[in-house]
Structure 1
Amino acid sequence: MSKTFTPAEVAKHKDDSSMWMIIEDGVYDLTSFKDDHPGGSKILKRFAGKNATKAFWKYHNDKVLERYGGKLKIGTVKEAAKL
């Protein structure tokens, strides 16, 4: 069973010690991935604690979520997050 989070809970995780973001209806913990992100950690910090769906799809395709999503996804968002 997947854990569910509200956007407010995700918003609490927006710094280097705990970095979460929403993509579609998934909640991803990027804390351990931020230093490995090909675009650098700076862009992840900008969207930490927020819904990054629109920005994510602007620069990524489905294969990125297929490759990394399983390792980084910690749950889903309870209510529909607004873009």
Structure 2
Amino acid sequence: MSKTFTKAEVASFKDEKTGMYIIIDNDVYDIAPFLDEHPGGAKILKRMAGKDATKSFWKYHNDKVLPKYGAKLKVGTVAETAKL
């Protein structure tokens, strides 16, 4: 069962021990287990922790990357927010 997060909740996960969450296309991923595997290095992932990384992610990755790694890193989705 997938958990639903607010953006504020995602922003609180910035630590390797408790989880480092990012948002990509309204899905939430814990990138902490992937730090050592990331070809671009852990530094950029740590910088994005707690943020919506959608724009940056798609700038540097093609559409094959997320299906390859996303399933094991996905922890939930972002709750819909009302737009006025």
Q: TM-score w.r.t. structure 2 length? A: 0.89
Letter in 2 for 1:61: N
Look up the match of 1:41.
Answer: 42
The structural deviation recorded for 1:79 is 2.9
Residue 72 in structure 1 maps to residue 73 in structure 2: yes
Q: Residues of 1 paired with 2:15 and 2:39: CA distance?
A: 19
Q: Residues of 1 paired with 2:2 and 2:20: CA distance?
A: 19
Letter in 1 for 2:5: F
Look up the match of 1:55.
Answer: 56
Q: Residues of 2 paired with 1:59 and 1:71: CA distance?
A: 20
Q: Residues of 2 paired with 1:46 and 1:20: CA distance?
A: 11
The structural deviation recorded for 1:9 is 0.5
Percent identity of equivalent pairs: 68
Unaligned runs of 5+ in 1: none
Look up the match of 2:15.
Answer: 15
- Superposed CA deviations along residues 5-54 of structure 1, whole A, max 9, x for unmatched, are 00011001112222110001100001111111110000001100000000
Q: Residues of 2 paired with 1:6 and 1:34: CA distance?
A: 23
Letter in 2 for 1:47: M
Letter in 2 for 1:62: D
Unaligned runs of 5+ in 2: none
Instruction: Note the aligned Cα RMSD (angstroms).
Output: 1.1
**Shift >4 Å, 4+ stretches:** none
